[in-house]
Structure 1
Amino acid sequence: MTEPAALLTPGTPLAASAVPVAHEALAADEVVEGTPTAGYAVLDTLGDSEIGVWEMSVGTATDTEVDEVFVVISGRASIHYAADDRTVVVGPGDVVRLTDGMQTTWTITETLRKIYIS
């Protein structure tokens, strides 16, 4: 299978807010409330890491995380961490580190778009 062409060009800015992201319905066993959809677009790779844009619409869903750092560029959400029963609220400009295997519940109150490195 051929890898998709990188959207990033060295030295050239890319408007992350304008990158097209095709959404799909989430698996029924992940959805807690609403009818959220999500999607992502791979921008490039950096060594063994992938850089991309991820977006989720309004609703609540669970996830099992991979190692990732992300920066929220638009939208708002709360993320509940099952391991320590803690919830954080994120919005534009926030940077978050997730680790492999974390059990999370995302409640998106305004469609969330983030740049991730995983």
Structure 2
Amino acid sequence: MSAMEPIDAREFPLDHEPIEDWQTIGAAASAGETDDATTTAFADLGTIAGADYGLWEMSAGAMRDVEGEEVFLVVSGTGRIEFDEPVRSDIALAPGTLVRLEDGMKTRWFIDEAPLRKLFIAPHED
């Protein structure tokens, strides 16, 4: 997919999949189970000047992640990111919030108003 033509970033269709076992937070994680209710989706829209851009979305729920280098703008939804490593203040997420994440950050995402959708820009990976 390439966004050579204008798209509606709020309505572009994305296919959700359950999060991976290691990403589970809460009662399911302590029981060694998968949280089938929390899902994410992704669309790679293209590359410009050596950077990839696309859409990422998360359903209501919680998950942990290890971040890659990126900057993103929240398009829809609300929630927060908590940081395990490095320790830093939580970031509230709402439409219009611009965030930069660094490679290797260990985070926990909590989404209230779903889906949370972001437009991201990240270094191109070969």
**Shared fold, TM over 0.5:** yes
Who is 2:31 aligned against? none
For residue 57 of structure 2, what is the amino acid of its counterpart? E
For residue 14 of structure 1, what is the amino acid of its counterpart? I
Identity of aligned residues (%): 36
Report how many aligned residue pairs link the two structures.
111
> 1:71-90 alignment to 2 at 5 Å?
71-82=73-84, 83-90=86-93
Tell me if the contact between 1:77 and 1:90 (Cα under 8 Å) persists in the aligned partners.
Answer: yes
SS in 2 for 1:29: helix
Q: 4+ runs of 1 displaced by more than 6 Å?
A: none
**Structure 1 Cα separation of the partners of residues 91 and 47 of structure 2:** 29
Deviation at 1:13, TM superposition (A): 2.6
The answer on 1:110 being equivalent to 2:113 is: yes
Deviation at 1:114, TM superposition (A): 0.5
The answer on 1:26 being equivalent to 2:19 is: yes
TM-score by length of 2: 0.82
Tell me whether 75-84 or 92-101 shows the greater mean CA deviation: 75-84
**Structure 1 Cα separation of the partners of residues 120 and 18 of structure 2:** 20
* 1:51-84 Cα distance to aligned partner (Å, 9 max, x none): 1010000111000000000000100011001121
For residue 20 of structure 1, what is the amino acid of its counterpart? P
For residue 57 of structure 1, what is the amino acid of its counterpart? S
Stretches of structure 2 lacking an aligned partner (at least 5 in a row): 27-34
SS in 1 for 2:10: helix
Tell me whether 21-30 or 42-51 shows the greater mean CA deviation: 42-51
Who is 1:14 aligned against? 7
Tell me if the contact between 1:19 and 1:41 (Cα under 8 Å) persists in the aligned partners.
Answer: no
Root-mean-square deviation over aligned CA pairs: 1.3
